[in-house]
């Protein structure tokens, strides 16, 4: 760590002496994007300071993917980012994603000898633990000679645009509880608002506001949905039940559908299907869920009626989990009888409603359970090549703080790596 009282020479005006330590780049936030950017920039030869206010680096990597970190996704198509990324302009991330692909990150993981495996839909996880990925990122920082200050709070940031020596001393004066530092390139990698208890803050958004950088409205994404009120009571008893479904929100060009598992919770619905759809769901609008997406329900129920005297709930249990079949049959008196006694109309209604359960969430579990934050720094003011702010020279935003949100399945980490890489390659060297 550079001592606060050290004297520093300006690289292009060596006769000038400053008491504030100078770094080519200062990165705030030692999460996925910040750590990766620091290591890459350091290895290019830049003098880099990485600051984080938390006791430990990369807490989100630590808890990600159930502790095994779903670090990327092989199915990511950099040429079609709209397929897996949400934001006002999903095309924004195309350049960075094309220049640093899942294959690039996989090669790095392999270089560090980290064993990994593929789960479904191209998702790659560390075999042992997310700690392997963190250790790799720290080793990359070490290789780049990165200075880390942690825990360290940033108290104030000033941009000295009118300074006579601005071109060489850097324009950002940063007051931290380890003392003042300055730089010409300030990288904000403070992430989103989810899981505040492990260090998430609105730092990046506040800094954007300080520099009049527009923000897209933030809201929790990849988050369980809740259903308040008595109407939910019959389903609350299904808490813990998981089943494959198709889930749909929106209409026409805003229609979005996922075929994934759904999980009932005490307060509502979760599981991959619901987390994915939550990033597209608009407040007050309904969801439609097909609870037996692979079954031909009308045909199966008609056959049941022809050959069985079982209760409808029991017959239904051959198509969906029995707890769900029981709860579902309770919805109508016509469905609480042997299937051979049910009218064709009642069975048609049953098939229709199972295939299209329409329900309107009352809200979400919020940032305490969300995996990501939707919205953030408006991409219209950022360069897609460098992540630098077009209206504020030397200020860069990378990772989740930007209005780019990936699907569940490793897409968010790939955005963190790719945006960090784009920025790290563009950061100016000393005196440039
Ligand atoms: C439970 C959970 C599981 C997840 N699993 C996956 C997964 O498997 N795959 C995937 O792709 N994505 C996953 N994500 C999403 C992924 O973790 C994030 O998208 C990613 O970490 C974002 O990287 P980032 O560097 O932008 O932000 P972060 O990794 O959140 O890092 C931000 C850093 O900034 C620091 N910071 C914040 N405020 C300040 C401040 N005021 N001063 C100094 N430092 C500050 C924080 O301490 C933190 O270290 C998961 C998220 C959660 C919550």
Spell out the residues 6+ positions from residue 403 whose beta carbon is closer than 8 angstroms to its own. Answer: 87, 88, 89, 215, 216, 374, 375, 376, 377, 378, 379
Query: Is 432 domain-assigned?
Result: no
pLDDT per residue over 88-117, tens digit each? 999 999 999 999 999 999 999 999 999 999
CATH code of the domain covering residue 40: 3.50.50.60
Burial of 154 (0-12, 13-18, 19+ CB in 10 A): buried
Single out the residue in 365, 382, 412 at which a domain terminates.
365
- Asked whether residue 200 falls in the same domain as residue 264, the answer is no
The pLDDT of residue 431: 54
- Asked whether residue 34 falls in the same domain as residue 156, the answer is yes
- Asked whether residue 121 falls in the same domain as residue 18, the answer is yes
203 Cα nearest atom in ligand 1:
41
Q: What percent of the chain has pLDDT over 70?
A: 93
Mean pLDDT over each residue of the chain, to the nearest integer: 93
The pLDDT of residue 229: 84
Of the pLDDT bands very low, low, confident and very high (cuts 50, 70, 90), residue 126 is: very high
**Angle separating helix axes 32-43 and 411-426, nearest 10 degrees:** 30
Comparing 16-25, 279-288, 389-398, the range with the smallest average pLDDT is: 16-25
Ligand 1 centroid – CA 58 distance (Å):
7
- Asked whether residue 46 falls in the same domain as residue 85, the answer is yes
Comparing 17-21, 386-390, 392-396, the range with the smallest average pLDDT is: 17-21
CB 309 within 8 A of CB 340: yes
Ligand 1 centroid – CA 271 distance (Å):
20
Query: Is 281 domain-assigned?
Result: yes
Ligand 1 centroid – CA 373 distance (Å):
10
Single out the residue in 324, 345, 365 at which a domain terminates.
365
Ligand 1 centroid – CA 192 distance (Å):
7
Query: Is 333 domain-assigned?
Result: yes
Token pair recorded at residue 22: 């100078």
The kind and range of the H/E element at 178 are: none
The pLDDT of residue 169: 46
Distance of CA 205 to the CA centre of its chain: 16
Instruction: Give the mean pLDDT of 292-304.
Output: 94
Instruction: Give the mean pLDDT of 222-238.
Output: 92
Single out the residue in 323, 344, 365 at which a domain terminates.
365
- Asked whether residue 231 falls in the same domain as residue 378, the answer is no
Spell out the residues 6+ positions from residue 389 whose beta carbon is closer than 8 angstroms to its own. Answer: 211, 213, 381, 382, 383, 395, 396, 397
The answer, yes or no, to whether residue 180 has pLDDT greater than 70, is: yes
Ligand 1 centroid – CA 59 distance (Å):
7
Q: Which of 35, 56, 176, 371 to mutate to test the pocket of ligand 1 (most atoms within 8 A of CB)?
A: 371
- Looking at the structure of the chain, the number of domains it has is 2
- Asked whether residue 84 falls in the same domain as residue 128, the answer is yes
Query: Is 2 domain-assigned?
Result: no
- Asked whether residue 246 falls in the same domain as residue 395, the answer is no
Query: Is 318 domain-assigned?
Result: yes
- Asked whether residue 57 falls in the same domain as residue 199, the answer is yes
pLDDT per residue over 27-36, tens digit each? 999 999 999 9
Q: What percent of the chain has pLDDT over 90?
A: 89
- Asked whether residue 228 falls in the same domain as residue 215, the answer is no
Residue numbers of the domain that contains 397: 8-220+372-426
- Asked whether residue 333 falls in the same domain as residue 361, the answer is yes
The answer, yes or no, to whether residue 6 has pLDDT greater than 50, is: no
CATH code of the domain covering residue 319: 2.40.30.10
- Asked whether residue 27 falls in the same domain as residue 93, the answer is yes
The pLDDT of residue 168: 47
Any residues with Cβ below 6 Å from ligand 1, and which?
28-34, 51-54, 60, 63-65, 69-70, 154, 189-191, 194-195, 199-201, 203, 371-372, 399-401, 410-413, 416
CB 327 within 8 A of CB 310: no
pLDDT per residue over 326-359, tens digit each? 999 999 999 999 999 999 999 999 999 999 999 9
Ligand 1 centroid – CA 372 distance (Å):
8
If one counts every other C-beta atom within 10 angstroms of the C-beta of residue 157, the result is 19
* Nearest CA, atom 37, ligand 1: 190
Q: 324 or 431, which is more confident?
A: 324
- Asked whether residue 65 falls in the same domain as residue 205, the answer is yes
The kind and range of the H/E element at 348 are: helix 344-355
Instruction: Give the mean pLDDT of 57-61.
Output: 96
The pLDDT of residue 19: 72
The pLDDT of residue 171: 83
The answer, yes or no, to whether residue 38 has pLDDT greater than 60, is: yes
Q: Which of 64, 154, 224 to mutate to test the pocket of ligand 1 (most atoms within 8 A of CB)?
A: 64
Query: Is 408 domain-assigned?
Result: yes
Whole-prediction pTM value?
0.93
Instruction: Give the mean pLDDT of 123-130.
Output: 98
């Amino acid at each position: 760590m550079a001592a606060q009282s050290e004297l520093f020479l300006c690289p292009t005006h060596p006769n000038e002496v400053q008491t504030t330590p100078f770094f080519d780049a200062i990165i705030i936030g030692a999460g996925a994007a910040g750590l990766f950017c620091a290591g890459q920039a350091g290895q290019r030869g830049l003098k880099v300071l990485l600051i984080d206010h938390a006791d430990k680096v990369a807490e989100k990597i630590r808890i990600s993917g159930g502790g095994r970190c779903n670090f990327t996704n092989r199915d990511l198509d950099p040429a079609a980012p709209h397929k897996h990324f949400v934001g006002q302009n999903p095309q924004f991330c195309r350049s960075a994603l094309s220049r640093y692909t899942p294959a690039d990150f996989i090669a790095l993981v392999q270089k560090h000898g980290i064993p990994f495996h593929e789960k479904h839909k191209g998702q790659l996880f560390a075999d042992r633990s997310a700690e392997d990925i963190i250790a790799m990122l720290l080793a990359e920082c070490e290789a780049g000679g990165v200075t880390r200050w942690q825990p360290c709070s940033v108290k104030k940031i000033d941009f000295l645009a009118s300074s006579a020596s601005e071109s060489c001393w850097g324009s950002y004066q940063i007051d931290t509880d380890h003392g003042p530092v300055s730089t010409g390139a300030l990288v904000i990698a403070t992430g989103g608002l989810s899981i505040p208890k492990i260090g998430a803050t609105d730092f990046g958004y506040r800094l954007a506001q300080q520099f009049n950088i527009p923000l897209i409205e933030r809201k929790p994404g990849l988050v369980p949905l809740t259903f308040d009120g008595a109407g939910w009571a019959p389903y609350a008893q299904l808490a813990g039940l998981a089943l494959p479904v198709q889930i749909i929100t929106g209409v026409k060009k805003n229609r979005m559908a996922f075929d994934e598992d759904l999980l009932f919770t005490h307060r509502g619905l979760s599981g991959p299907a619901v987390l994915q759809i939550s990033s597209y769901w608009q407040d007050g609008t309904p969801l439609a869920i097909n609870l037996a997406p692979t079954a031909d329900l009308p045909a199966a129920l008609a056959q049941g009626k022809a050959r069985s005297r079982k209760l409808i709930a029991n017959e239904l249990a051959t198509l969906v989990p029995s707890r769900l079949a029981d709860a579902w049959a309770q919805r109508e008196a016509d469905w609480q009888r042997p299937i051979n006694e049910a009218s064709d109309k009642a069975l048609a209604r049953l098939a229709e409603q199972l295939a299209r359960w329409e329900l309107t969430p009352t809200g979400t579990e919020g940032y305490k359970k969300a995996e990501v934050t939707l919205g953030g720094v408006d991409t219209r003011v950022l360069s897609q090549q460098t992540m630098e702010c077009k209206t504020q020279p030397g200020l860069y935003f990378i990772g989740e703080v930007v209005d780019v949100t990936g699907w569940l399945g490793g897409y968010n980490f790939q955005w963190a790596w790719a945006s960090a890489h784009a920025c790290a390659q563009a950061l100016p060297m000393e005196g440039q």
